[in-house]
Chain A
Amino acid sequence: MSEQEYTPKSKVGKWFNDRLPLLTLANHLTDYPTPKNLNYWWTFGGILTFCLITQIVTGLVLAMHYIAHADMAFQSVEHIMRDVNYGWLIRYIHANGASMFFLAVYIHIFRSLFYGSYKSPREVIWIIGIIIYLLMMAAAFLGYVLPWGQMSFWGATVITNLFSAIPLVGEGIVTWLWGGYSVDNPTLTRFFTLHYLIPFLILGLVVLHIWALHVPGNNNPIGIDIKKPSKDTVPFHPYIVIKDGFALLMFMIVFAFFVFYTPNILGHADNYIEANPLVTPAHIVPEWYLLPFYAILRSVPDKLLGVIAMLSAILILAALPWLDTSKIRSAVFRPLYKQFYWILVADVLILGYVGAMPAEGLYLLIARIATAYYFLHFLVVLPVLGFKERTTPVPLSITEPILGGSPNLAAVKKKDSF
């Protein structure tokens, strides 16, 4: 970064900063030159940080009252809901917070897909992001088991059983994961421990994610490299801080609506029935944010191949910077990619929908077509498109006039919203 050497004004500040340059870091963060044309889709990074901190803080309080024991977990959650002061509020924030977290992360990921934020030189930011996303899914799954309701128990049974698909050692691994021969108390206690650990791993990775971001700087809606600092950038504080704050408040209104008025709508009613190993629920469904992957899993007739397909669906994202061969980042200047992007969005929504439906008949057929298309998009469409697509002219900077008679800034601004 091309910022000038920072020296604190006060003597004490200078003394301290020479020993630990925290003030230099703070200065870097406030002055950090940010493209001035970032739209609201870029505010979700800040929103996600808020989500993570909310989950950690509410989770800490819940852990003070929760009892990780198969005989007492369900009852302790009811204790939190009834007798702990504002326990209901803390728990509803935590439970709905998970959904809000995923809502925000999906917007964040699809923003990146649209504007090509994963491309060089931002591959490492992207891959750290994918690891964070994987850990988020693990944390969410583990957390869903803790209330020890019917869906907790059977969800845990179904998901851990996936490991039995591994040849030879599968069964052994499942027994090892369970700590016994079925999902039971040892499973619950270890899931609680891991559920407590993962958020802090995520927090560490978030620091790396932001650090890696601050090396090349933000991508932007027109996806061009910009000089920093320049007329194209604004300092992070106050410009981006206030804008992120505004977007966060809008997000919090939606969040509050769920927490206060429909706190159980995103959960499954069966999870208010205490876990019973002798009664299997009619439909075992994961939380909404895992449904597309659940659909992919079930669309493959073979168990092992299904698990491989599901894992590949996530891991393929890590290879995205190399699968997308186009030199142009932003979909604004890629007319064909833009169409395929929206088809992918529709495809993932369809997968999510059929994931909630029973895997039979027409639903299964749709799930199979959508799964095939998902992989087709990444493995065929993206690599080929980079060579075949005729892109529209890209401006040289955000503020400078554009060469070659391409559309002016006003037109670019209009196109960049999606």
Chain B
Amino acid sequence: MKNIFRISFILVLFLGFQFNSNAAEKVEYLKTDWSFKGPFGKFDRAALQRGYQVYQEVCSSCHSMKYLSYRNLVEEGGPEFSVEQAKAIAASFEVKDGPNADGEMFLRPGRLSDKFVMPYENEKAAQAANGGAYPPDMTVLVKARGDGVDYIYSLLQGYEDPPAGVTLDEGVYYNKYMYGNKIKMSNQLSDGLIEYSDGTNASVEQMAKDVTTFLMWTAEPHLETRHKMGFKAIIYLIILTVLVYFSMKRIWSRIETKI
């Protein structure tokens, strides 16, 4: 009797997981080694700097980065540009400020304390310039997609001709990793598209990896601190747990019972 119940229980659970795997045929994403994965994961500084360059030269003409400031580029755990480099980057943008004493708005060079300059004045302007599609803000994009970095990395390399039978409207492209396969962004990366300032060969794969690493950092700027602190916290907790365990054994040994 007992066994019948147990077996039926296990069977039901097993069937449940079967449905799960059959329900959605998952696409296999392109794999690469991410330096920031795992409990000791850290960002690759050079990749972050290159990733910033890809973002700046390719993505930023359409995609905003509104929660990031130029000062973040200097901070520990990020691309760690020097203060001079970051100041130069900020100064290369024109920031609308004001009103001044005459009540006029004016343009001035960017400072470290400024937020990243937006490519469009507002969402409507962005849509108008992109055939009705709004290029999403990229700051937390990695966290806003269920499959995270693997998804973005694959998507950037996933453009191909549509299979027979799939018709695409004007301004719509086929991408095998996009949810629903139809995307309004055209293929942006091609080999040698940009010239990396550190001389790395700018292959599509390299640029996709670098920019995805950069986006991971923009989404989780404190990832390195988190990993380091987590390691310390857990080690501390384990040691304390062991000590408390032995004190507990000692205390309970005063009476005749097992715990």
- Chain A 352-386 interface residues, beta-carbon cutoff 8 Å to B: 353, 357, 362-363
Q: Assess whether A250 is in contact with B241, with CB atoms less than 8 Å apart.
A: yes
Q: How far is the CB of B129 from the nearest CB of chain A, in Å? A: 19
B240 at interface (Cβ–Cβ under 8 A)? Answer: yes
Q: Assess whether B226 is in contact with A260, with CB atoms less than 8 Å apart.
A: yes
Chain B residues with Cβ below 8 Å from A245 are 244, 248
Chain A residues with Cβ below 8 Å from B233 are 256, 260
Q: Mark B116-148, 1 if CB is under 8 A from A, else 0.
A: 000000000000000000001001100111101
- Chain B 140-185 interface residues, beta-carbon cutoff 8 Å to A: 140, 143-146, 148, 179
Q: Mark A54-82, 1 if CB is under 8 A from B, else 0.
A: 00000000000000000000010011011
Whole-angstrom CA separation of A36 from B244 in the bound complex: 19
Chain A residues with Cβ below 8 Å from B244 are 242, 245-246, 249
Specify which of A238, A250, A272, A357 is in contact with B143 (CB 8 Å cutoff): A272
Q: How far is the CB of A372 from the nearest CB of chain B, in Å? A: 15
Q: Assess whether A269 is in contact with B143, with CB atoms less than 8 Å apart.
A: yes
Q: Assess whether A339 is in contact with B257, with CB atoms less than 8 Å apart.
A: no
Whole-angstrom CA separation of A234 from B254 in the bound complex: 11
Specify which of B6, B12, B219, B241 is in contact with A350 (CB 8 Å cutoff): B12
Whole-angstrom CA separation of A339 from B240 in the bound complex: 38
Q: Assess whether B67 is in contact with A75, with CB atoms less than 8 Å apart.
A: yes
Q: Give the segment of A162-170, A207-215, A341-349 that binds chain B.
A: A341-349
Chain B residues with Cβ below 8 Å from A37 are 257
B51 at interface (Cβ–Cβ under 8 A)? Answer: no
Q: Assess whether B251 is in contact with A343, with CB atoms less than 8 Å apart.
A: no
Q: How far is the CB of B37 from the nearest CB of chain A, in Å? A: 10
Which B residue sits closest to A249, measured CB to CB?
B241
B16 at interface (Cβ–Cβ under 8 A)? Answer: yes
Specify which of B13, B67, B143 is in contact with A264 (CB 8 Å cutoff): B143
Q: Mark A225-262, 1 if CB is under 8 A from B, else 0.
A: 00000000010001100110110011011001101110
Specify which of B144, B222, B247, B251 is in contact with A88 (CB 8 Å cutoff): B222
- Chain B 231-245 interface residues, beta-carbon cutoff 8 Å to A: 231, 233-234, 237-238, 240-241, 244-245
Chain A residues with Cβ below 8 Å from B136 are 273
Specify which of B20, B67, B255 is in contact with A36 (CB 8 Å cutoff): B255
Chain A residues with Cβ below 8 Å from B107 are none
Which A residue sits closest to B228, measured CB to CB?
A260
B229 at interface (Cβ–Cβ under 8 A)? Answer: yes
14 A–B contacts from the bound complex (CB under 8 Å) = A78-B140, A81-B222, A89-B229, A242-B247, A242-B248, A246-B241, A253-B241, A259-B230, A260-B39, A261-B227, A270-B144, A272-B219, A346-B9, A413-B258
Which 6 residue pairs of A and B lie closest in terms of their CB atoms, listed nearest first?
A260-B230, A272-B144, A249-B241, A272-B143, A269-B146, A78-B67
Residues of chain B touching chain A, judged by Cβ–Cβ distance below 8 Å, are 1-2, 5-6, 9, 12-13, 16, 19-20, 23, 39, 67, 72, 136, 139-140, 143-146, 148, 179, 219, 221-222, 226-227, 229-231, 233-234, 237-238, 240-241, 244-245, 247-248, 251-252, 255, 257-259
